[in-house]
Amino acid sequence: MDCLQKGCGLVFLKMTMKHSTSGTMRLVCQRSGYRGWVQKITFGLVAQLDLVDLALKFIMISILREDHQMCCLQDLGDDSRFIEFYNLVFMQYNKKDDGSLEPLKQMNIDTGMGLERMARILQKVPNNYETDLIFPIIEKAASMAMVSYAKADDATKTNLKIIGDHMRAVVYLISDGVIPSNIGRGYVVRRLIRRVVRMGRLIGIRGDGHGNSEGAFLPSLAEVVISLSTEIDSDVESRRRSILGELQREEMRFVQTLERGEKLLAELLDEALLNAGNNGNKPSLSGKNVFLLYDTYGFPVEITAEIASEQGVTVDIEGFDIEMENQRKQSQAAHNVVRLSVGNETEIVKNIPDTEFLGYDSLSASAVIKGLLVNGNPVNEVSQGSEVEILLDRTPFYAESGGQVGDNGFLYVNGGEDRRQTTVIEINDVQKSLGNIFVHKGMIKQGSVEVGKEVDASVDAKLRQGAKAHHTATHLLQSALKSVVGSETSQAGSLVAFDHLRFDFNFHRPLSEEELTTIEALINQWIGNAAHVETKVMALQDAKNAGAIAMFGEKYGEQVRVVEVPGISLELCGGTHVSNTAEIRGFKIISEQGIASGIRRIEAVAGDAFVDYVCARDNYMRRLCLSLKVKAEDVNSRVETILEELRATRNVASSLRSKIAVLKAASLASRATTVEPQNVRIVVENMGDVDADGLKSAAEYLIDTLKDPAAVILGSSPGDGKVSLVAAFSPAIVEMGLQAGKFVSGIAKLCGGGGGGKPNFAQAGGRKPENLPDALEKARAEIVARVSGSS
């Protein structure tokens, strides 16, 4: 009803079955109108469940006959007496923005009877949360918070209900392979988890319930959910380890920033309330601040809004959305998105049909030019030397989509009786725009071209083969990952280029060398098996029923293309692929790294790029073997020996430099300045190119030699534009209130650096050696002033 009154666009007939406290049931019919639910008719008491179907049929027939001549017995809006547990929604009209109604193309009836509602009635409890489906989770949370649910106030009960409801949801979601992240359904899980964490802290849960006060409490609650699911969904139990691990990692990750975020939010809310009081406006949290909490401290906007609401402060959601959009634009700035000139899009599309793609079966074809664009604006003719975007009626060129880059190649215009090439256009990218129109981007190398001309389109076969090899290898990689590290991994993005592939996936830790080796070996085994790659077009639902993997967030039509490597991989994919895995030739992982929280990235090569990579590495190894004068199998041990010798040599050199620095320091001791009235001996000197370790040794020697009270400040320029500083104070100097860390930090700033340390000894560095003399003079003046009592 609320959605209707806000103009969401649907008009309903609704029937509701309500269970009364007296044990009987009532059926209520309501019909929506222009201003909400305007008709409300109550039908007779139904005392037995076996009469429900008969009563519903009677009501439906009556409604469809427009027979509303039934008396209204009473208003059942009293939720303290009646429980709604079954309703029917008859969807008939679409309400347009101007308020007019139009019949839906497909009218339907939405029906549902909640399991929790039925359990509530049968178990005779006051709400869904106190049924045996959720209440055991609530009891566990209450015991961990050391509160009694029965005696708790309304706010605590609400928090416990949220914990019970959300915990059940996240356990099943993670069991189904939905991993917390910042995108799509992963973000839904993250929001639910973080809300549970906050609610748990509000009611007083501290620690994991097993004696570790710093531990995560979500796994303990998840154990209850898993035990409740044993006889319902055995898969949840089998995935216990991954569920508990994911919840623990996610909670600890959030807790690290939660306290700082809560403190900042409290400050922002106080500021909003203060400003509102001074200005007489309604207190509001700016979108920029909401985004700061989201981006820096991991606060989902819903949690921020909830906390703000508790203090009577509104949240600028529109401003937050703007900040989010700005971030998206920045992150996508390097992404090549084709848009036909905004002012001309509609006009162009009217005259240009969708492009027919021929590239699955052929790399060349004749086509007709339907449109030419220069700088996004339509033109009729383009000449040699110009960059141009060409729209064809049909093409063998693949347009960038599904992670695969667009094809390269040439368009030729042939003229004269001998069909001689009069125009040559080099195509360096193909993108999709406005649905399914292919935009061929290129440069006219020879001649000119005009709308309506016929061209011969030719795809670069070598580059296409590279894309095909890498695309099929990407499918094999996803299957190998699921096989080696777990079925819960899922694709988070990909790039299929001519010379490499990039695959992003959800996973919580780096892959080990052993895992990477196993994945490589498994993929190369599949390649060596020379498995036939099959492609077919089928209904989307049939593909899903067959177990085909779909990329979350992708939009699919009713008919989809399925790519299968029998027994290995089955995915929905519109990209180009090899016909046999043997065409991939080989597969090699180049790198594996984390790119975001919970997101890993693998980069790899296949096909000709694999051969080139292996040959290049072999060449490097040959040259290394020649330099080291060892066989390839002995390179590791030889390098380790050289590194050990280098470490030993460096230690000797460092020791010698320290001894030289101490010898220099010995000559400085006799030049120490004595400052009255406490006879403090001070040394402030530039020691040339002595390194940081040598400077430290010299300062330690001097402070021991000069005895208490003494202060030593030394500086040097060891090279590479670096500055080293050290300050050493005896106990009496520290008792005067001077601290070496603070003192040397202030001096280091003059040299473009900083540092710190203990009150009696500290080191610092900088990047401006030309400022060192002035910095040491300032250090001398300050230390003399401080110990003489003149400052």
Q: How would you write 443-497 as a 3-class SS string?
A: EEEECEEECCCEEEEEECHHHHHHHHHHHHHHHHHHHHHHHHHCCCCCEEEEEEC
Q: CATH 3.30.980.10 in the chain: give the residue spans.
A: 472-616
- Contact assessment for residue 467 and residue 576, using Cβ atoms and an 8 Å cutoff: yes
Q: What is the pLDDT of residue 100?
A: 87
- CA gap 285, 308 in Å, rounded: 8
pLDDT in tens, 528-586: 999 999 999 999 889 988 888 887 556 778 889 999 999 999 999 999 999 999 999 99
Whether the Cβ atoms of residue 62 and residue 90 lie closer than 8 Å to each other: no
Count of beta carbons in the 10 Å neighbourhood of residue 627: 10
Assigned fold of 660-788: Diaminopimelate Epimerase; Chain A, domain 1 (3.10.310)
Contacts of residue 362, defined as CB under 8 A and 6 or more positions apart, other chains included, come to 396
CA–CA separation, 357 and 407 (whole Å): 12
> Does pLDDT of 62 surpass 80?
no
Kindly indicate the confidence band of residue 416, based on its pLDDT and cuts at 50, 70 and 90: low
pLDDT of 31 > 60? The answer is no
Contact in structure between 284 and 313 (CB atoms under 8 Å): yes
- Spatial contact of 55 and 16, defined as CB atoms under 8 Å apart: no
Residue 469 tokens, joined: 């090899």
Q: Which residue has the tokens 């090439």?
A: 421
**Alpha carbon distances (Å) from 356 to 360, 361, 391, 402, 606:** 11, 12, 11, 18, 29
Closest CA to 170 of 194, 153, 146, 147: 194
- Which residues contact residue 92 at a Cβ distance below 8 angstroms, ignoring those fewer than 6 apart? 11, 12, 13, 103, 104, 107
CA distance 567 to 783: 78
Q: Delimit the CATH 3.10.310.40 region(s) of the chain.
A: 660-788
Q: What angle do CA 241, 244, 248 make, to 5 degrees?
A: 135
Name every residue whose Cβ is closer than 8 Å to that of residue 195 and which is 6 or more positions away in sequence.
Answer: 162, 166, 300, 302, 303, 306
Tell whether the model's pLDDT for residue 113 goes beyond 70.
yes
Confidence category of residue 126, pLDDT binned at 50, 70, 90? confident
What is the arithmetic mean of pLDDT over 298-310? Answer: 83
Q: How far is 321 from 303, CA to CA, in rounded Å?
A: 15
Q: What is the reported pLDDT for 417?
A: 65
The label of the residue with tokens 């402060």 reads 313
Count of CB atoms situated within 10 Å of the CB of 62: 16
Question: Sorting pLDDT into bands at 50, 70 and 90, what band is 253?
Answer: confident
Q: Write down the CATH number for the domain with range 356-459.
A: 2.40.30.130
- Taking phi over 0 as left and psi of -120 to 50 as alpha, with beta for the rest, 312 belongs to left
How far, CA to CA in Å, does 328 sit from each of 48, 322, 353, 502, 600?
Answer: 57, 10, 31, 21, 20
Mean pLDDT for the chain overall:
83
Average pLDDT value for residue range 640-644: 91
HSE-up (13 A, CA, CB side) for residue 657 = 17
Q: How far apart are CA 426 and CA 445, in angstroms?
A: 7
d(CA 544, CA 54): 37
For residue 30, pLDDT beyond 70 = no
Residue numbers belonging to the annotated binding site for Zn(2+): 471, 475, 573, 577
Q: What is the CATH number of domain 472-616?
A: 3.30.980.10
- d(CA 31, CA 42) in angstroms, rounded, equals 12
pLDDT given for residue 37 in this prediction: 36
- Helices (DSSP H) in 234-370: which residue ranges? 234-238, 240-279, 287-297, 301-310, 317-331, 345-351
- Mapping DSSP to helix (H, G, I), strand (E, B) and coil, where does residue 558 land? coil
Residues in the chain: 791
Residues 489-493, mean pLDDT to the nearest whole number: 86
pLDDT of 413 above 60: yes
**Token representation of residue 532:** 């036939």
Indicate the residue type of 281.
N
Q: H or E segment at 239? A: none
Rounded CA gap, 15 and 590, in Å? 61
Phi, psi of 229 (to 5 degrees): -90, -5
- C-alpha radius of gyration, the chain, whole number: 37
Spatial distance between the Cα atoms of 313 and 575, rounded to a whole number of angstroms? 50
Taking only the tens place, the pLDDT of each residue in 715-765 is 988 888 889 999 999 998 888 888 888 898 888 888 888 887 888 999 998
Query: Can you list the pairs that 175-178 forms with residues at least 24 positions away whose Cβ atoms lie under 8 Å?
Result: 175/233, 175/235, 175/236, 175/239, 175/243, 177/487, 177/488, 177/490
> To 10 degrees, what angle do helices 218-229 and 135-144 make?
160
Beta bridge partners of 222: none
CA gap 703, 385 in Å, rounded: 75
| Share of residues in the chain with pLDDT > 90 (%) | 39
176 three-state secondary structure? coil
d(CA 468, CA 498): 8
| Contact present, 439 and 338 (Cβ < 8 Å) | yes
Distance of CA 455 to the CA centre of its chain: 44
**What pTM was computed for the model?**
0.61
Each residue of 668-722: pLDDT tens digit? 777 888 888 888 889 898 988 888 888 888 888 888 888 888 899 999 888 888 8
Residues 6 or more apart from 207 whose CB is under 8 A from it? 213, 214, 215, 217
pLDDT reading at 459 higher than 50: yes
Binding-site annotation, residues: 471, 475, 573, 577
- Report phi then psi at 31, rounded to 5: -120, 135
| Exposure letters 657-684 (e unless 16+ CB within 10 A, then b) | bbeebbebbeebbeebeebeeeebbbbb
